[in-house]
Amino acid sequence: MVEIEDSIYKEIKSILEQARNKVYKVANSTMVQAYWNIGRVIVEKQGGNNKAEYGAALIKNLSKKMTKEFGKGFTVANLKNMGQFYLTFQKVTHCVTN
């Protein structure tokens, strides 16, 4: 009886581990898409003014607002990195926007 119980437990454990791994992968992929799209919006709305005072002020203000609403992770440096992420991979829109 114990062997059957152990076998059932191991099978259920495997199902749960596979499901969790799938959820992690989907969540990570979704967040990568979100960060790429955040970078896209920032870069496109700046219209190439990302090195001007306007760009710096925009990023700083966005950082304050986003951190207040969404928590840490939206520092000035992170928002700049999202913009750079978009610029680096802007030709892969078919993978990111779907």
Q: What is the mean pLDDT of residues 11-16?
A: 97
Q: Which residues contact 36 (CB under 8 A, 6 or more apart)?
A: 82, 85, 86, 89, 96
Task: Report pLDDT for 68.
Answer: 96
> Quick check: pTM over 0.85?
no
> For residue 34, which amino acid is it?
A
Q: At what angle do helices 76-88 and 2-46 cross, to 10 degrees?
A: 90
- Quick: pLDDT tens for 20-78: 999 999 999 999 999 999 999 998 888 755 555 667 888 999 999 999 999 999 999 99
**Neighbour tally for 79: CB within 10 Å:** 22
Q: What is the residue-wise DSSP string for the chain? A: -HHHHHHHHHHHHHHHHHHHHHHHHHHHHHHHHHHHHHHHHHHHHHTT-TTSHHHHHHHHHHHHHHHHHH-SS--HHHHHHHHHHHHHTGGGHHHH--
Place 13 in a pLDDT band, splitting at 50, 70 and 90: very high
Q: What is the pLDDT of residue 24?
A: 94
What's the pLDDT score for residue 29?
95
Q: Which has the higher per-residue pLDDT, 39 or 90?
A: 39
